[in-house]
Amino acid sequence: MAKKIGVLTGGGDCPGLNPVIRAVVRKALNEGFEVIGIKNGWKGLVQNFTQKLDLKSTSGILPKGGTILGTSRTNPYENNELLKKAKQNFKKLKLTALVAIGGEDTLGVAAKFSKDGFPVIGIPKTIDNDVPLTDSTFGFDTAVNIATEAIDRLHTTAESHHRVMVVEVMGRHAGWIAVDAAIAGGGDYALIPEIPIKIDELIDSIKKRKKRGKHFSIIVVAEGAKLSSGKTILQSEELDAFGHVKLGGIGQRLAAMIEEKTGFETRVTVLGHLLRGGSPSAYDRILGTKFGVKAVELIMQGKSGYMVSLQGNKIGAVKIEKILGKLRTVTKEYYAIAEEFFG
């Protein structure tokens, strides 16, 4: 019987997904495997919607953003009917193993599938960089570069018009993008989910900058940042298949408060999905390639239920179950580096 590896990408798209797919295909073919792409995440496994992956279908995808396989937020464990179809199709496809590329939700499903006896290897993906037990996830470097370029551009118009510019970036539970972009782009403040926003302190700092002759400010805020009341600003309270609400709006709320309390004209730029789109950076292409190769190596070793991870300068692996229910968040020590340049 032919050895066959399935590949799927789930959750939000991310620069670097295509380099991972390409690496899995290259390594797998070199080792004598067939490769099948599962279209649109776990939804494709439920619907048995697939495509053959080979050298031709993966040629030229290294610099492309997004994912050639498509994605979704389908959760097969949402009900028994979806789960039954997904498991039947796994068997029907006669997969030796499945490579599931995604964040905490996709990996959570992967862990359950492995526990149910289906061989699965996970690859961590998120621009938020909040997956634990890996020093970095691909897509994060690209997102920080995009945010940094945006801040660089906003500096000139903020200074010209004597305005406060609020830059809202992604970051549901972790503020890595906001902190790193603020450091790299010379932002004056970084507001993150890990630390409640103390609006009075922020207003006071902006006023102090004005007294020093600084008639503009750049404030970088993560979408999941909370006011000191502890309330998260939402676009919608409707839940997706994994129980997540749609975040967004903290930038607008913050801008209104700043303008009212300081008299500074304040504008908001929401980078949103711009951070997830476009060509991946060289670093993310390389990291994604290393992750893809390692995933196939783990399959060849007969492993299941493991997630590929970056540990220092080495590519290793950890049991997926060890990362579930946890987040890699910004530490006080790391945030303190950015604070040195605030105000």
Dmax of the chain from CA atoms?
76
pLDDT for 216 equals: 87
DSSP letter string over 13-59? --TTHHHHHHHHHHHHHHTT-EEEEETTTHHHHHHT-EEEE-TTTTT
Active site residue 128: yes
pLDDT for 242 equals: 53
Tell me the pairing of strands 97-102 and 120-124: parallel
pLDDT for 82 equals: 95
pLDDT for 329 equals: 97
Instruction: Give domain limits for the chain.
Output: 4-138+280-322, 142-277
Asked, colleague to colleague, whether 4-138+280-322 and 142-277 share their fold, the answer is yes
Long-range contacts of 334-339 (CB under 8 A, 24+ apart): 334/179, 335/175, 335/179, 335/190, 335/192, 335/194, 335/195, 337/183, 338/179, 338/182, 338/183, 338/190
Residues in the chain: 343
Q: Where does 4-138+280-322 sit in CATH, by number?
A: 3.40.50.450
Which residue among 13, 105, 128, 180 is the active-site one?
128
Question: Global pTM?
Answer: 0.91
State the Cα–Cα distance between residues 6 and 225, nearest whole angstrom.
37
Per-residue pLDDT of the chain in tens (343 residues, 90 and over written 9): 579 999 999 998 999 999 999 999 999 999 999 999 999 999 999 999 999 999 999 999 999 999 999 999 999 999 999 999 999 999 999 999 999 999 999 999 999 999 999 999 999 999 999 999 999 999 999 999 999 999 999 999 999 999 999 999 999 999 999 999 999 999 999 999 999 998 999 999 999 888 898 888 999 999 999 987 666 665 555 555 555 555 568 999 999 999 999 999 999 999 999 999 999 999 999 999 999 999 999 999 999 999 999 999 999 999 999 999 999 999 999 999 999 988 7
pLDDT for 84 equals: 96
* CATH fit for domain 142-277, picks 3.40.50.460, 3.20.20.70, 3.50.50.60, 3.30.70.580: 3.40.50.460
pLDDT for 304 equals: 96
| Residue 306 exposure: Cα atoms within 13 Å on the Cβ side | 20
DSSP letter string over 261-273? HH---EEEEE-GG
